[in-house]
Structure 1
């Protein structure tokens, strides 16, 4: 009779959930096993140690929050403005397979204490910015304008989740729509 093992992806997803909820210190094998309803032994079937899990969590975050998003935007095609609108929609939806903006926040927090994570975050952020530069560059001829639009997009995407403000008669979604329209002019 074959022994059922908890899939590797379940450990990674549980690790990302723990990271998002409590920071890297919350990613502990015992706690993950408890959350998954299994013993610790299954962990070592997939990972040599906690550090190996942390690396795979970063790989999953990068793939889900960057590579998969770009692939999803590109798959449907369209001109640069259409793809940017799709990027805004996908980024705002938070419908990642494993991660969302709060996982991104957790990785950013972790990067403040771990130089290797900081380097990974820098690479991911640069990839995201390069993708937006490519798209904005298709209809903006001024490199300064491209850089401003990309930086505004990125900071609005991150900062929007940190604000708790009233927008008068407008909803936060309506304000985001206004921002997107302005950026795409």
Structure 2
């Protein structure tokens, strides 16, 4: 007896994951209802049972990314059972591993895609800005906790974070290995005179 296979109807999280996948692989211009539905193998009309319109969907994607991106970085920076040096090196290690997985196709290059989207969409820009501000605050606190003045800690946090973003971009566009230079930037943030 043949039992018909019933395809699951995508839930809200499936649509969001599909949006992130399209954003990472094809860019913000492709985060539209029809490409999303095609990616999920469903009719476009199902989108509207979860979201009022495409703009609401985009805003939810941006908010979701900002929440996750800010929290994962903050957790590593705030670990109290490790020294400031160990925490900063762990951040550098984690960031380079994630980015290299993204660059080799083992994971979507979501953060660079969000940064690209932020260049053309004010709400995406605000989401990226919230993450950047939070990360810079976390890095500054980490370095100040290691004995640096607040001004010096902020300057070094900015330099380390700029290295992270720049190396991430070079890794994706030019194949530059990120780990070594980012670890060096972390050590310089901790020990430069």
TM-score (norm 1): 0.81
Unaligned runs of 5+ in 2: 1-5, 102-106
Deviations 1:57-115 (A, max 9, x none): 1122112222133235546732322222222222222289xxx7832222222222222
* Counterpart pick for 1:8 among 12, 17, 37: 12
Q: 1:149 aligns with which of 136, 156, 163?
A: 156
Q: 2:147 aligns with which of 136, 140, 146?
A: 140
Aligned to 2:42: 38
The residue aligned with 2:62 is: 58
Please say if 1:173 is aligned against 2:179.
yes
Structure-1 residue corresponding to 2:188: 182
**Is structure 2 residue 117 aligned with structure 1 residue 110?**
yes
Q: Which residue of 1 aligns with 2:167?
A: 160
For 1:24-49, what per-residue CA distance to the aligned partner results, in whole angstroms no more than 9, with x for missing partners? 21101111111111122322221111
TM-score normalised by length of structure 2: 0.78
Q: 1:125 to 1:12 in 2, by over 3 A?
A: same
Instruction: Give the Cα separation in 1 of the matches to 2:44 and 2:36.
Output: 8
Which structure 1 segments of 5+ residues have no match? none
Write the distance in 2 (CA, Å) between the matches of 1:152 and 1:85.
15
Contact 1:101 1:158 in 2 (8 A): no
SS in structure 2 of the partner of residue 184 of structure 1 = helix
Equivalent pairs counted in the alignment come to 177
* Alpha-carbon separation, structure 1, partners of 2:118 and 2:188: 32
- Provide the aligned C-alpha RMSD in A: 2.8
More off after superposition, 3-12 vs 23-32: 3-12
Q: Which runs of 4+ in 1 moved over 4 A?
A: none
